[in-house]
Amino acid sequence: MSINATLLIQIIAFVLLVWFVNKVLWGPLSKLMEERQKKIADGLSAAEKGKHELELAEQKAKEVLKDAKAQAQNILSQAEKRGSEIVEDAKVKANEEADRIKAAAQAEIAQEVSRAREDLRKEVASLVVTGAEKILKKEVDAAVHNDMLDTLVKSI
């Protein structure tokens, strides 16, 4: 149990063992563990980043969707407005056309009436002349009596 030269041997053994342990056990293994730790930390931060990016993308998608909806609404309301405009236009045009056709028909009718009246007057005049000729049994000079006949015709 006494102190002896074993002490020196054990000191040398201890120092050598520390050196060996550092070389074959601590060195490689702690390096490995450090690298793994770094890898895990990197992975975690990448995942965090990915999550953040996903959030941003989702937000952006929402905005785009909102924009698209608003645009669609806009287009729809414009189309409605345009449609009603077209209908309104068509109505106005149809009315105008109808008025025009009515006016033309009325003018034609008026023309027809006046023409018929003219024809009738002429017929009456010739009838009157013929009648008068028969009554007088003599020829009536149409040229001489034209003025009188005109007055007669007009009075019909």
Partner 1 sequence: MGTVEYIQHHLTNNTIGEGFWTFNMDTIVISFLLGALIVLTAARMGKSLQAGTPGGFQNFVESILDFVSTNVRDAFPGHNPLIAPLALTIFIWVWLMNFMDLIPVDLVPYLYQLITGDHHAYLKIVPTTDLNTTLAMAFAVFALIIYYNIKIKGLGGFIKMFLFHPFGKFFVPVNVVMTLIEEVSKPLSLALRLFGNMFAGELVFLLIALIGGTLAVGAAALFWAPLQVLLDLGWLIFHLLVITLQAFIFMVLTIVYLGMAHDEGH
Burial classification of residue 121, based on how many CB atoms lie within 10 Å of its CB (0-12 exposed, 13-18 middle, 19 or more buried): middle
Give the Cα separation of 105 and 59 in Å (integer): 68
Interface positions, 14-43, toward partner 1 (CB under 8 A): 14-18, 20-22, 24-30, 32-33, 35-36
Give the Cα separation of 127 and 145 in Å (integer): 14
* Cβ nearer to partner 1, comparing 35 with 80: 35
Binding segment for partner 1 among 1-9, 60-68, 69-77, 107-115 (CB under 8 A)?
A: 1-9
Binding segment for partner 1 among 2-10, 68-76, 100-108, 127-135 (CB under 8 A)?
A: 2-10
Q: Are 125 and 153 in contact (CB under 8 A)?
A: yes
Give the Cα separation of 24 and 18 in Å (integer): 10
Q: Are 154 and 133 in contact (CB under 8 A)?
A: no
* Cβ nearer to partner 1, comparing 16 with 113: 16
Q: What is the DSSP letter of 2?
A: -
Binding segment for partner 1 among 8-16, 60-68, 74-82, 106-114 (CB under 8 A)?
A: 8-16
Placement of tokens 């023309």 in the chain: 111
Which of 149, 106, 144 has its CA nearest to residue 127? 149
Query: At its nearest, how many Å lie between partner 1 and the CB of residue 20?
Result: 5
* Cβ nearer to partner 1, comparing 32 with 156: 32
* Cβ nearer to partner 1, comparing 47 with 65: 47
Residue 7 near partner 1 by CB under 8 A: yes
Which chain residues interact with partner 1 by CB under 8 A?
A: 1-11, 13-18, 20-22, 24-30, 32-33, 35-36
